[in-house]
Amino acid sequence: MVVPFVLASQSPARLATLRSAGIEPQVIVSNVDEDAVLAHARTTFEERARAGIGLPLALADQPYLLARAKADDVVARHAPDAIVLGCDSMLEFDGEILGKPGTPEVARERWRAMRGRNGVLHSGHALVDNRLERREETGQPTLAGDTSSTVVHFADLSDHEIDAYVATGEPLGVAGAFTVDGLGGPYVERIDGDFHGVVGVSLPLLRRLLRGLGVDIHELRHSG
């Protein structure tokens, strides 16, 4: 029997990655205010740090917090009898965490800074097991989560190449203003780590997280 699985993301790249692994999830897009979630988390962590009971929010932890918020939102609003996957990706560059640039101006500025250099792409993964059988066992949904981090080496692009890439519109809506599986592929010299994690969902990490919930990844495939 196939384990029901939900992807809490509208990312075509994440859906395509799962499909390439034989997984056809139900897609339910979360309704999360990402800026508000991060602002609240930063304030909370800073207050705890000042009180001497914790550290400030680490850059690499921010994508995971958003992934968790997305999965929790879908579980709370739709209550699917399924395992729900939330994901979020951000690029760590020059000591800052970068999400989607949003505008051509920001994308162009980022690429001029990134060209010929490298950054770390963090992809947070949060699995919430909301299956009825699991809730009956534990009394609540079960969580498993972690972050995939991969070093990305960018090509030394000319201004003309940057302008041409930004003009496609692709970098405006993706983490770090680049893709490795789309039009941005020629502009990434190499990666040190998990290719799928850079695309947005790490299949090896997903497998490990599922195992923590007592599920083998092949149980998500309709082909068995």
Torsion of CA 28, 19, 14, 211, to 10 degrees: 90
CA–CA gap between residue 83 and residue 142 (Å, rounded): 9
For residues 93 and 113, the answer to whether their CB atoms sit within 8 Å is yes
First to last CA, the chain: 8
Do the Cβ atoms of 26 and 212 come closer than 8 Å?
no
Asked if 64 and 146 touch (Cβ cutoff 8 Å), the reply is yes
Q: Are 148 and 125 in contact (CB under 8 A)?
A: yes
194 a catalytic residue: no
Q: Write down the catalytic residue from 73, 88, 129, 146.
A: 88
* Contact of 173 with 119, CB cutoff 8 Å: no
Compute CA distances 147 → 46, 62, 66, 187, 190, whole Å: 21, 10, 11, 24, 20
Half-sphere exposure of 95 (CA within 13 A, CB side): 0
Q: Provide the annotated active-site residues.
A: 88
